[in-house]
Amino acid sequence: MTVKAKKRGRPAAASVALSKVRIIECANTLMAKEGKIPSIRKLAASLDVDPMAIYYYFTNKQALLEAVTVSLVEKIYSPDPNGDWQQELTKLCQSYLNLLAQYPGLLETLLGMTSHGPAAVFTERFDLAVAGLSLDDELRNNALSMLADYLHGYALAMSCQAGEELKVDMLSGPLGFYMQALQQMVKP
C-alpha cells in the first residue's frame, strides 16, 4: 500500500504556480458544475494542494467566498454611460440573470453574504447604465434596491419553476414598465 505524501504549507516554487487567480478560476469551475461554492478541501483536492495552501492566499473561507463571488459578478455587462440608458440597463439586467442561471448556487450565496463586494460591482454597473438620468441619491437608492430585489426574485423563480419555462427574454415587459416609471420620476 502506498501513501500519498501530504502537501503542506506554502506551495513549492517548482510546482505549478498556485495563485489567487488560479484558486478563483478553479472555484468558479467547481461552482458551475456543483451549483455551490466548493469547500476548501474540495478546492484543494482539485488543485492538488494541501488545504492550508489555500489559506496562504486567503485569510479565511469568507475572504475566498468574497473573491469568488466578486469574480463572477464582474463578468456581467458593463454599460456604456454614453449609450441609451434603457438599452444599457436592459443588457445589464439580462447579463446578471444569465450569470445567476449559469451558476445555480450563486444567488443563494450572494443573499447569504455579509460583505458587499459583489453588490458594489452591480451598483457600479447600475450607476453606469443610468448615468444620463442624473438621479438624486434617494431616487437612485430606491431604484437600485427595487431592481435588485426584482432581479433576485426573477432569478429565484427561474431556478425553481415548474411547467411553462420562465426565460431571461421574458423580462422585457416588466423591465420596460420599471424604466418608464423611473423616467417619470426624474425631475426635468
What is the pLDDT at residue 163? 59
Distance CA 50, CA 40 (A): 9
10-residue mean pLDDT series, the chain (188 residues):
52 66 93 86 93 91 90 95 96 96 87 87 97 93 96 90 77 94 85
Distance CA 173, CA 82 (A): 24
User: In angstroms, what CA-CA distances link 32 with 68, 116, 151, 168?
Assistant: 12, 22, 20, 19
Domains of the chain: 20-69 (1.10.10.60), 74-185 (1.10.357.10)
